[in-house]
């Protein structure tokens, strides 16, 4: 025997002790009376009668102890202690009702897990502050070009001038994303690194964990010392957290680089979505960049800028100051800078790149968060329904405790404690699910040439959000039963016998919860349906080329050390050898592939065309080898295609698309006309091709220029495009082994089949559609399970009634139909409410839908069909059980 309350118990302890003592007494009494042959009901009545007026006695006992209980000299402690007692009670009750607990936790944790997953994503993309010192005084600086990009990058020479001339910043650093083939000893892997000005780490206030950042002398001119700072993740994953790594050599694009530092944990650069794996000084661009920007021109924008505003200067002042600098430079360099101005944005607004990217992400996040909250609500309604069913079973227990004098407040507190525990349990399971699911989220990212991983971290914010949700969920499903106790006269319920009439109010409540679930499911399913149909509309768009059985394989000689001469020769041989491979119909090389992530732009001049004062003479362009149009399946409408005749030493030629032809030669034949692109070399137009989609499937037609690869500047990175005879998949390894033979040192090319490539061009669209559909399905499953539960409960309560009806001549078929009809009506009401809700929420969706009416009849009829089908399915088993009710048993138990 152990003493559980030493000297001065609290009021709660006294109450709990009285409860325990009296409950034990009554149970023992009832047990012995039942053993003596009484029915449980009679035994209970007898036991209570023997006890006398329990409430009065209990009040007397409490009064008696009032003198001895510890006074609340420490109120907080007393409250905490009381809460602890309540929780202990709750835990016991959860263990006692195992089935209920498991069902409720399962339902809730799915809802909470979905929320935690999406929130961890939203947190990483939009909320979590960037890991830099005092982000509030950091700004991003963009170059805006009149008639061109509003938030463009900056050229190297402009950057040097801005840095030198501005007075608003204590520092202005530049950086550029750079795919790098990074390797220690083993095969190099392509990762996304960054080239940065030497003061990058200083300006943003990031101190490396090991070693140092860059020194000014490491960033003087070009061809400086090849040094690198690794990110914490790279250091951990690729160099197994080697503490002595500083000073050792790694290879970037096959060039030796000395590691001078390792970034701090949690810092992956200034982009919240895409992290950098390593940083090298701008001066190493020839080694570290697999392409070569023009550092001597003001028209090749490739740098992103970040500035630290001087203390006491606002962002507005900094903006005004830079504006003046830009104007001065526009006067000094009218040719290149006449149409440029500077845009200054707080760093946090550019955490996903240009500000509109954050807005797009925010819009999608709002939709996704809304969706998962609705899923959670459906889950909560499930638990509420379970609670209602359990409440009936527990009614007796509660009534006894109440009649023994436990105050309503105490009982309500116990019920609430039980709910809180339940949601905490569900939150824990939900977080585990979310940990797993956020890994799975990475799979929804489109494959890309340079592997990109989202930085999803479970920080305190995610934890806090999850707990908050769990508590909110408690309010939704836990408060109602607790309040019911506070309101109802539980003494009455003891007198009730279990009959059909008693449960009817509750069953009404349960049906309204199901109505809500059906309605919410409809909203979710229809959103998913609309999104999927929007996606399939997008997929159905003509990309402007016919190639489907084929391969795109980037071939980037920048990841190794090759001269232009070697490079051109390798590219020529690659094309030659690929063409002869089995299964290959034709092959070609192209600088860019339509719908890819990178595009070239060109300033153009057109003979005989007078541009308007502010007209931007800039077009997208591509450089291709012979056979490109045939391989891609792009129709040449007029003139001829680029072929083997177009060599370095022949006449310079160009091809244009329909839109470009119409724009610059509206009523003349463009063939034979002269234009010039890039270095001002005149070219004559030899052909016109059909319009295509270049950056995204949803874009409207734009001008496009194609020139022969042989007549353009040397490109280290080209795409090998292959048209295969049949299935492209088996051809990939063969093509890759060709590239490996030709250039053994290069990291493996991220080759894709054309369908994979088209998928990847859809970007986040496909992932979002998968997510929305998954949540829609989850909602449907939760709602269906809930519906099934309510129907079987309702039927089980009315078994006797059905038995009587059958005895009175009702056919089993008619009973079956009656139950199904009841389910149908519930579904019907749910769908009506759901359609109304969907109408109210479509505005949120309209922004992310493409070519789909937010009330698309196909989607809605499909969703309605699904809901009615699953609704009837959920009712079928209970209905069959009802129709099997035993008429004899019905009378026997009367």
Partner 1 sequence: MGTDEGRLLQGTLDVLVLKALMAGPRHGYAVSTWIRDKTGGALDIEDGALYTALHRLEKRQLLAAEWGISDTNRKVKVYQLTDAGQRQLEKRSRIWNEYADAVSRVLESG
**Smallest distance from partner 1 to CB 67, Å:** 8
**Smallest distance from partner 1 to CB 234, Å:** 58
Among positions 536-555, residues that touch partner 1 (CB under 8 A) are none
90-99 CB burial, b ≥16 within 10 A, e <16:
beebbeebee
Nearer to partner 1, 50 or 821 (CB): 50
Task: Name the pairing type of β-strands 618-624 and 704-708.
Answer: parallel
Among positions 173-232, residues that touch partner 1 (CB under 8 A) are none
User: Which two structure tokens, joined as six digits, stand for 226?
Assistant: 């090849």
**Smallest distance from partner 1 to CB 56, Å:** 7
CA atoms within 13 A on the CB side of 598: 17
Q: Does 566 bind partner 1 (CB under 8 A)?
A: no
Among positions 16-55, residues that touch partner 1 (CB under 8 A) are 17, 20-22, 24-25, 27-29, 32, 50-54
Q: Which stretch binds partner 1 (CB under 8 A): 15-23, 119-127, 423-431, 660-668?
A: 15-23
Closest CA to 141 of 115, 109, 174: 174
Among positions 793-812, residues that touch partner 1 (CB under 8 A) are none
Residues 6+ apart with CB under 8 A from 84: none
494-521 CB burial, b ≥16 within 10 A, e <16:
beeeeeeeebeebbebbbebbbbbbbbb
Question: Bridge partners of 281?
Answer: 196
Q: What are phi and psi of 597, to 5 degrees?
A: -85, -20
**Smallest distance from partner 1 to CB 458, Å:** 40
In the block, residue with structure tokens 């340079």: 450
The total number of residues shown for the chain amounts to: 894
Closest CA to 234 of 255, 214, 252: 252
In the block, residue with structure tokens 């007075």: 167
Nearer to partner 1, 31 or 71 (CB): 31
Closest CA to 473 of 353, 372, 384: 384
Distance, CA of 677 to CA of 618 (rounded, Å): 9
Nearer to partner 1, 28 or 237 (CB): 28
Structural contact between residues 304 and 195, judged by C-beta atoms closer than 8 angstroms: no
**Smallest distance from partner 1 to CB 5, Å:** 8
Structural contact between residues 108 and 422, judged by C-beta atoms closer than 8 angstroms: yes
Structural contact between residues 812 and 884, judged by C-beta atoms closer than 8 angstroms: yes
In the block, residue with structure tokens 């920007």: 293
Nearer to partner 1, 25 or 880 (CB): 25
Nearer to partner 1, 1 or 679 (CB): 1
User: Which two structure tokens, joined as six digits, stand for 584?
Assistant: 């290959």
Distance, CA of 193 to CA of 182 (rounded, Å): 9
Nearer to partner 1, 17 or 452 (CB): 17
Distance, CA of 867 to CA of 807 (rounded, Å): 34
**Smallest distance from partner 1 to CB 11, Å:** 15
Nearer to partner 1, 64 or 637 (CB): 64
**Smallest distance from partner 1 to CB 23, Å:** 9
Which class for 386: exposed (0-12), middle (13-18), buried (19 or more C-beta within 10 A)?
buried
Q: Tell me the number of residues near partner 1 by CB under 8 A.
A: 28
Show the site string, 55-84: x = touches partner 1 by CB under 8 A, - = not: -xxx-xx--xx--x----------------
Nearer to partner 1, 61 or 618 (CB): 61
**Smallest distance from partner 1 to CB 406, Å:** 15
**Smallest distance from partner 1 to CB 65, Å:** 7
Nearer to partner 1, 24 or 891 (CB): 24
Residues 6+ apart with CB under 8 A from 883: 802, 812, 813, 815, 816, 819
User: Which two structure tokens, joined as six digits, stand for 76?
Assistant: 């907080």
Helix (H) or strand (E) holding 196: strand 189-196
**Smallest distance from partner 1 to CB 62, Å:** 10
**Smallest distance from partner 1 to CB 17, Å:** 7
Closest CA to 303 of 180, 157, 192: 157
Nearer to partner 1, 3 or 73 (CB): 3
**Smallest distance from partner 1 to CB 462, Å:** 40
**Smallest distance from partner 1 to CB 57, Å:** 3
Nearer to partner 1, 28 or 669 (CB): 28
Nearer to partner 1, 25 or 488 (CB): 25
Nearer to partner 1, 58 or 693 (CB): 58
- Of 1, 443, 540, 612, which one interacts with partner 1 (CB under 8 A)? 1
Q: Which residues bind partner 1 (CB under 8 A)?
A: 1-5, 17, 20-22, 24-25, 27-29, 32, 50-54, 56-58, 60-61, 64-65, 68
């Amino acid at each position: 025997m152990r003493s559980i309350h030493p000297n001065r118990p609290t009021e709660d302890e006294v109450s709990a002790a009285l409860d325990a003592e009296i409950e034990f007494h009554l149970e023992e009494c009832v047990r012995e009376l039942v053993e003596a042959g009484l029915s449980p009901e009679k035994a209970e009545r007898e036991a209570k009668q023997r006890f006398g007026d329990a409430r009065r006695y209990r009040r007397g006992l409490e009064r008696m102890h009032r003198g001895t209980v510890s006074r609340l000299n420490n109120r907080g402690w007393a409250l905490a202690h009381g809460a602890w007692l309540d929780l202990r009670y709750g835990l016991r009750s959860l263990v006692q009702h195992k089935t209920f607990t498991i069902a409720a936790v399962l339902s809730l944790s799915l809802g909470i897990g979905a929320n935690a997953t999406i929130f961890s994503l939203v947190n990483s993309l939009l909320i979590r502050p960037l890991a830099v010192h005092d982000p509030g005084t950091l700004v991003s600086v963009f170059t805006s070009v009149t008639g061109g990009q509003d938030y463009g990058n900056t050229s190297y020479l402009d950057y040097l001038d801005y840095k030198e001339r501005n007075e608003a910043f204590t520092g202005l650093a530049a950086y550029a994303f750079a795919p790098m083939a990074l390797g220690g000893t083993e095969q190099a892997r392509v990762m996304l690194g960054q080239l940065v000005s030497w003061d990058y780490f200083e300006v943003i206030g990031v101190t490396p964990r090991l070693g140092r950042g860059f020194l000014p002398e490491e960033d003087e001119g070009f061809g400086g010392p090849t040094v690198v700072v690794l990110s914490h993740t790279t250091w951990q994953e690729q160099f197994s957290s080697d503490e002595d790594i500083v000073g050792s050599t790694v290879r970037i694009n096959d060039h030796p680089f000395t590691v001078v530092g390792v970034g701090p944990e949690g810092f992956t650069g200034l982009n919240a979505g895409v992290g950098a794996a390593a940083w090298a000084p701008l001066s190493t661009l020839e080694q570290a960049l697999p392409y070569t920007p023009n550092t001597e021109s003001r028209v090749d924008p490739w740098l992103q800028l970040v500035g630290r505003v001087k203390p006491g200067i606002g962002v507005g002042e900094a903006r005004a100051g830079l504006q003046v600098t830009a104007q001065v430079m526009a006067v000094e360099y009218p040719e290149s800078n006449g149409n440029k101005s500077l845009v200054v944005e707080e760093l946090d607004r550019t955490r996903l790149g240009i500000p509109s990217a954050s807005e797009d992400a925010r819009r999608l996040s709002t939709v996704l968060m809304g969706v998962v909250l609705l899923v959670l609500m459906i889950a909560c309604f499930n638990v509420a329904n379970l609670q209602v069913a359990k409440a009936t079973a527990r009614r007796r227990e509660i009534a006894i405790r109440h009649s023994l004098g436990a105050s309503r407040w105490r009982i309500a507190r116990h019920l609430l404690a039980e709910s809180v525990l339940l949601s905490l349990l569900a939150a824990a399971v939900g977080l585990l699910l979310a940990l797993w699911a956020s890994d799975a989220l990475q799979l929804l990212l489109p494959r890309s040439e340079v592997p990109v991983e989202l930085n999803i971290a479970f920080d305190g914010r995610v934890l806090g959000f999850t707990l908050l949700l769990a508590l909110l969920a408690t309010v939704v499903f836990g408060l109602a039963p607790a309040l019911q106790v506070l309101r109802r006269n539980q003494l009455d319920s003891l007198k009730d016998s279990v009959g059909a009439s008693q449960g009817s109010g509750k069953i009404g409540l349960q049906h309204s919860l199901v109505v809500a679930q059906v309605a919410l499911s409809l909203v979710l399913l229809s959103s998913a349906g609309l999104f999927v149909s929007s996606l399939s509309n997008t997929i159905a768009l003509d990309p402007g080329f016919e190639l489907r059985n084929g391969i795109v394989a980037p071939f980037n000689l920048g990841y190794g050390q090759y001269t232009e001469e070697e490079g051109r020769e390798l590219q020529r041989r690659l094309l030659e050898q690929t063409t002869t491979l089995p299964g290959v119909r034709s092959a070609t090389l192209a600088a860019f592939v339509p719908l890819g992530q990178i595009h070239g732009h060109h300033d153009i001049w057109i003979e005989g065309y007078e541009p308007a004062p502010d007209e931007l003479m800039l077009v997208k362009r591509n450089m291709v080898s012979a056979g490109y149009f045939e391989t891609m399946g792009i129709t040449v409408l007029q003139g001829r295609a680029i072929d083997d005749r177009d060599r370095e030493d022949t006449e310079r030629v160009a091809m244009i698309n329909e839109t470009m032809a119409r724009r610059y030669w509206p009523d003349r034949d463009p063939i034979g006309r002269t234009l010039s692109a890039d270095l001002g070399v005149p070219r004559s137009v030899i052909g016109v091709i059909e319009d295509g989609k270049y950056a995204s499937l949803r874009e409207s037609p734009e001008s496009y220029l194609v020139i022969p690869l042989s007549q353009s500047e040397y490109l280290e990175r080209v795409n090998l495009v292959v048209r295969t005879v049949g299935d492209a998949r088996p051809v990939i390894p063969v093509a890759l082994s060709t590239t490996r033979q030709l250039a053994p040192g290069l990291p493996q090319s991220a080759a894709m089949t054309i369908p994979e490539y088209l998928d990847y061009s859809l970007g986040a669209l496909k992932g979002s559609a998968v997510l929305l559909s998954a949540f829609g399905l989850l909602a449907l499953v939760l709602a269906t399970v809930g519906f099934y539960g309510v129907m079987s409960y309702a039927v089980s309560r009315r078994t006797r009634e059905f038995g009587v009806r059958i005895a009175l001549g009702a056919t089993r078929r008619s009973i079956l139909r009656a139950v199904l009809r009841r389910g149908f009506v519930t579904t019907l009401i749910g769908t009506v409410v759901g359609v109304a809700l969907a109408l109210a929420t479509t505005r949120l969706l309209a922004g992310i839908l493409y070519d789909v009416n937010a009330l698309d009849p196909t989607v809605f009829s499909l969703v309605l069909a699904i809901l009615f089908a699953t609704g009837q399915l959920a009712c079928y088993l209970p209905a069959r059980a009802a129709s099997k009710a035993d008429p004899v048993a019905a009378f026997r138990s009367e």
